Structure 1
């Protein structure tokens, strides 16, 4: 490699860049194309932000032939490393040759970007190799060398990149979007991608969801209604198509619920942040998220009642969503649309709290014990999400079961045959014991794996199509 003025490269540096090139050159033909770059990223266990491979190829492909040869690659990496060194120096405010979490927060704030102290500490732990709680220049360059940008906004997006999953119960603390994502309009594309992923995931797992509702309402010790017998009863009564009853409104309510939760979460973050005078740490994020979830659930709760009635309906009982709503209103009154509201709201607190706490604990444990890996594979956040969400469901499931039983009850609000939450809980415990509060949890757990897999794949595909 030549020594051309400012771009002179030491033999050691050039040898290192060539070793990296050989790792990326999957078919060993002396060229790297887009498909090889993506495959190499996967093999090297690198986090892949949508469009990252294409951006890297575009930035480094000096002759624009769609491929990289070793000369182009080495020259680009050397230039890119120079830019990363300049960025490191600008963040290292006290000029001691290392970056702290506090310096990261201050530097980002100075260019109009905002992250919490907790996020900054997570980023430092992710990049820090020697356990010093600081980032030195070598750690900084190694972590970002194959990221196609040395712009702070792009790198912050790279740090914040996360995956998505929909388990059918929209009680999770909402995702946070950066100021840049809001200004660029990327936030609405992420919401659309998430909504689409949720719709596909819920539709694919709808039979299990309907079976869960059936078992929550009708399963007892006496009838021994289980997964096999439940599916048989549903199929005999409504045929194969009947397994998807109630799915239409379950999909329809995704958009308003997600939008309401997002806007409420953003407003509550502002209010709570002003009141506390602190950054949004996990405690305040949980509070804002829980209140936002309660607000969105309140607004769309009538749809939840209609969903339960449609899932339990007999053939010919209702003509559709509108007919079901009209009949509930005329026969039971407006109050019927809020049956089970109290246990539903109470269930948000243990679900969101346990889910967030366990997710953060698992994530921090992984980062502490895998300091030699720059970023986790996609299975790490997915696995943490599945475990934390499952634990949250275990804690909140009794509330969900009582809510569903109350929603399914067709007595008018004034009649004595319309039990309240406490009396219903007593009856369940007296007749069914503790296990009675977990009727239907089997199909609920069965849908977790397919729901996570489907929602993740669809979300990533949608982000690629929407170019986010």
Structure 2
């Protein structure tokens, strides 16, 4: 999922570093990197999930929508009053499952690609200090963000749809026509997948992938590079891959 793609990525990287301190005696293979990044992402995502759910509803309402949330606090209190506390975590399961390929692959692909370029000295991209330039690291981050985003995107689509489920004005808000229509209902993640594919086709799972990638992929790349540059400025020796 750039909300807060840059800030969330920084949180995930910091959490991942803490985990890696406990693994410093072991070699960080791509599998270990995947696990560390995924665990960090799940913690960060779970802590901020209610705000993401509210953001989704605020985003889709229009001037013609029957329901008009006046802001974050009004949306939170309205959802709690009308749908209960559990509604703030609708779509949490596909989000957790999606974190594993999304955040995990971001870390694994970025670190593995960067290490491969340094060790192989491919394409002459390694400088005299055996380091990669900013442009090359940005490219590694963009490649990592592209892979993670593409693999995890169907789960993000399902998460958004589940966040709308149970909202009595959801259908009208989604279409923006102000007409009364059947309320969107899903009996869990699997049911949401099944109904989406059956009624709209497999391609529906990738609706909005391109504009979302334009937002997310650069933010992931910039987050990785900024993180390492700040560490260099502060004189911190530990790398993300250490």
TM-score, normalised to structure 1's length? Answer: 0.39
Distance 1:291 1:322, change over 3 A: same
Q: CA deviation at 1:393?
A: 0.5
RMSD (Å) for aligned C-alpha atoms: 3.5
Q: Contact 1:359 / 1:385 at 8 angstroms: preserved in 2? A: yes
Q: Contact 1:411 / 1:418 at 8 angstroms: preserved in 2? A: no
The secondary structure found in structure 1 opposite 2:117 is helix
Alignment of 1:65-464 (within 5 A): 167-168=2-3, 170=5, 198=6, 254=7, 258-259=10-11, 261=12, 264-271=15-22, 273=23, 278-315=26-63, 317-367=68-118, 368=120, 369=122, 370=124, 373-374=127-128, 375-411=131-167, 417-448=185-216, 451=219, 455=222
- 1:49-99 residue CA offsets vs partner (Å, 9 max, x unmatched): xxxxxxxxxxxxxxxxxxxxxxxxxxxxxxxxxxxxxxxxxxxxxxxxxxx
Residues in 2 aligned to 1:445 and 1:168: alpha-carbon distance in whole angstroms: 13
Q: Contact 2:91 / 2:158 at 8 angstroms: preserved in 1? A: yes
Q: Contact 1:286 / 1:353 at 8 angstroms: preserved in 2? A: yes
Consecutive unaligned residues of structure 2, counting only runs of 5 or more, are 169-182, 235-242
Q: CA deviation at 1:365?
A: 4.0
Residues in 2 aligned to 1:360 and 1:262: alpha-carbon distance in whole angstroms: 12
Instruction: Tell me the equivalent position of 1:155.
Output: none
Q: CA deviation at 1:291?
A: 1.1
Of structures 1 and 2, the one with the larger relative CO (CA 8 A, separation 6+) is 2
Residues in 1 aligned to 2:16 and 2:108: alpha-carbon distance in whole angstroms: 18
Consecutive unaligned residues of structure 1, counting only runs of 5 or more, are 1-165, 171-197, 199-253
Q: CA deviation at 1:270?
A: 4.7
TM-score, normalised to structure 2's length? Answer: 0.71
Q: CA deviation at 1:372?
A: 6.7
Rg larger in structure: 1
Q: CA deviation at 1:168?
A: 4.3
- 1:399-418 residue CA offsets vs partner (Å, 9 max, x unmatched): 00000111122348xx9934
